[in-house]
Amino acid sequence: MKTEILLITLILITPIVSADWFYNSKTLDINLNISSYLDIEAEKSDYNIDYLLVNLSFFPKNEFGQDVLYINFNPEAGITEGIAQFKWENPGLGRKEFGVNADVKISNSYKEVRKKINFPITDLPKEAEVYTKPSETIDSDDEDIIELASSLAEGEDDLYVVVFKLAEWTKVNIDYDLSTLTASVSQKASWVLDNREGVCDELTNLFIAMNRALGIPARFVSGIAYTNSPEFTENWGPHGWAEVYFPDYGWIPFDVTYGEFGFIDPTHIELKESLDANEPSTDYEWFGSNVDVKTRKLDISTKLKNRDGRISHVLKKEAGFDSYNLVAAEIENLKDHYIATELYLSKPKEIVVIGNEEKGVLLKPNEKKSVYWIIKLDEKLSRGYVYTFPLAVYSLRNVSSQIEFKSSFDSATFTLTEMKDILKQKEEEKEKVYSKNIDLNCIIDKEEFYEYENAEINCSIRNEGNIYLEDLNVCMKDECNGLDLGITQESSVKFPVNATDFGKQEMPITASNSQVSKTYYVKFNYLDKPELGINGIDYPKSIEFNDEYSISFILDKKSISKPKNIVVTLYQNNFPKTWEINELDDDKKIVLNLSGKDMTKTENNFSIKVVYEDDNSRRYETNGGFSIKIENVSFTERVILLFNSTTNRIENLTPTGMIIMLIIVAFMFVAVVVYVFRKKK
């Protein structure tokens, strides 16, 4: 069995949505408008201007997690290598306006680094090497920066750990302070280290500089982000963060200002990647005489058009066919008044809700509650597929949250009684508030084992609170160990695993008394012995010598565990032909095409032998058989059948048999020679 609790979080408020929604939304649809203008003024009466160019690099592009749904440049612009070029021929005096309007979809996604990347980095692509060098404000060759970065990375050989340490140090030790003059000018990384203060681009400069000092490629990213800080008059505004290069994974974002390490929330709109924070977003060029061009800063406005769901947390992500499951919605009222609402669970047709799909909820001001649905998955699903089922909880106030889980034939299953027990345990744990001070951890010595093997669970329990715990029962099913646990004390218990159901499971271990209730689920896979059957043998009862025919049968996988190293042998009158299969996930149909000319006699007996193993190299065997008769055989065909039989016997002789045959042939040859010579005499 397996604990399948799907957690969906909802925020219930009146139509104005909390900023928390922005950071945790699954996707955000944002409209972005970037505009500016310049004035062309004559310095003398005999002026002229042939052309005016504005090169704008500050606009959204398609990036990982960022899709540009619509973009319009006004006036029309040419795009070359990420730069939009506005051009006016013989523009004349006066104001020239330019801008870009775009709709952007941002996904709350991040690159998952699944393996350790060695540090220092020894092999970099050429295009990344430039981002290891110092630049105007990122003076990574400063001795103090080199010394600090080296001390933070000392002894570490994991790149992610090193980059995280650099980010964490910057976040903790550099003050974000808009009251300094640095808010209007980007200072060097060395200045930020000396003064221990700065704004987003300067914190980012120092972080990038420390990475580059260690040979780690890092670049500056300019864009727009959302903030609910009271220091800002507008929620949306220009922002800077970093991207660090990870071999095999590419560029991964680190926002040391927001404390987002290895990801960025979906309010970040990336507009420009650069070597240095001081690279301009707009370049101006004109050709003329006796004129002056006065430019203005970019005006940026942002509007949230749509949000989709909220990132939810799945405690367990799989469930077997015909399994029960638990959906939990955590609801929070962020308003200062009561809210009464109904919650609805939306689900695919393959899922049945036990009880009502809608639940009424009354929330006091700022109250949090959990609402649960028990669901059941259809048992009539095809065992050869992995299914993904979406779920959504929504209210009449149009507040919603979405989640999904997967199901396959060999996933763990839960009964209704077990789900009710889990629900009861969760409610009990909430009621006994001291439970949060109990640290319960368990491990199993074999995460996968067969029915003929033994396994043991070892649990440690620690009292991290300030109450002496008496008569604490630590239980696995009906087997319990009683103990007392003093403040800061730790104890351990062991349980032999007595599983009754085969397949993937999670065994609940509970620690409880009148004050606490805590549960830990131990994952393991309890395997039956692999078993194969030979079913559905299809063959002709009789054939003629010149007939082509086929034999088919099904290798029936009867066990949950997978048979490995499978050898299928077809014996025709004891003469074998062999096929090999690495492992079998499901039933497999075997089809063999044969010819009557390959028969060895008129009545041919066939047998099928299947030999296979488990993961411990234990050997298993199953057999089947049938016979086929050849009809209307001529004398010539009988001779061929006899020849086939003789050939097969020779081909399948063992070394000992071959030696015996050679001795017989040699003896017969000698006998013939002796007979011939005697006759001549």
| Per-residue pLDDT reduced to its tens digit, 108-121 | 777 777 788 899 99
What was the pLDDT predicted at 190? 92
Question: What's phi and psi for 323, nearest 5 deg?
Answer: -100, 150
Q: In what order do the strands lie in the sheet with 358-363?
A: 318-320, 400-408, 387-395, 339-346, 358-363
H or E stretch at 586: none
| Helix/strand/coil for 104 | strand
pLDDT reading at 180 higher than 60: no
- Same fold for the domain at 1-26+309-422 and the one at 126-265? no
What was the pLDDT predicted at 665? 55
pLDDT in tens, 100-152: 999 999 887 777 777 888 999 998 999 999 999 999 889 999 999 999 999 99
The answer for residues whose C-beta is within 8 angstroms of residue 624's C-beta and 6 or more apart is 534, 537, 553, 607, 608
| pTM, full prediction | 0.46
∠ CA 638-642-644, nearest 5°, is 115
Q: To the nearest whole number, what is the mean pLDDT of the chain?
A: 80
Q: DSSP letters of 351-378?
A: EEEES-SEEEEEE-TT-EEEEEEEEEE-
What are the residue ranges spanned by the domains of the chain?
Answer: 1-26+309-422, 27-108+281-308, 126-265, 432-525, 532-640
E strand map for 497-649: 503-512, 517-527, 532-538, 542-544, 548-557, 564-572, 575-583, 588-595, 603-613, 619-631
What was the pLDDT predicted at 418? 75
pLDDT reading at 334 higher than 80: no
What is the Cα–Cα distance from 362 to 341, expressed in whole angstroms? 7
Chain CA centroid to CA 254, Å: 20
pLDDT reading at 13 higher than 50: no
pLDDT reading at 225 higher than 90: no
Lookup result for tokens 């300094």: 180
Please confirm whether the linkage preceding 348 is cis (ω < 30° from 0): no
pLDDT in tens, 543-566: 888 888 888 999 999 988 999 999
Fold type of domain 1-26+309-422:
Immunoglobulin-like (2.60.40)
What was the pLDDT predicted at 3? 40
What is the Cα–Cα distance from 547 to 163, expressed in whole angstroms? 71
pLDDT reading at 409 higher than 50: yes
Chain CA centroid to CA 357, Å: 30
H or E stretch at 330: strand 324-333
**Do 391 and 346 contact (CB within 8 A), yes or no?**
yes
Tell which CATH architecture fits domain 432-525.
Answer: Sandwich (2.60)
- Which of 320 and 279 is assigned the larger pLDDT? 279
Fold type of domain 27-108+281-308:
Immunoglobulin-like (2.60.40)
Task: Report the C-alpha dihedral over residues 108, 114, 120, 126, rounded to 10 degrees.
Answer: -60
What was the pLDDT predicted at 12? 38
What was the pLDDT predicted at 166? 92
When mean pLDDT is compared across 284-288, 512-516, 544-548, 634-638, the lowest value belongs to 634-638
Alpha helices in 296-415 (DSSP H): none
When mean pLDDT is compared across 587-591, 602-606, 656-660, the lowest value belongs to 656-660
**Do 544 and 641 contact (CB within 8 A), yes or no?**
no
Tell which CATH architecture fits domain 126-265.
Answer: Roll (3.10)
∠ CA 42-44-46, nearest 5°, is 100
Task: Report the C-alpha dihedral over residues 233, 235, 239, 245, rounded to 10 degrees.
Answer: 160
What was the pLDDT predicted at 263? 80
Tell which CATH architecture fits domain 532-640.
Answer: Sandwich (2.60)
Q: In what order do the strands lie in the sheet with 603-613?
A: 542-544, 619-631, 603-613, 564-572, 575-583
| Helix/strand/coil for 153 | helix
How would residue 659 be classed by pLDDT, with cut points 50, 70 and 90?
low
What is the Cα–Cα distance from 193 to 153, expressed in whole angstroms? 17
Q: Which pair of tokens denotes residue 539?
A: 């063959």
What was the pLDDT predicted at 18? 34
pLDDT reading at 619 higher than 90: yes
What is the Cα–Cα distance from 433 to 467, expressed in whole angstroms? 12
**What is the percent of the chain with per-residue pLDDT over 90, rounded to a whole number?**
25
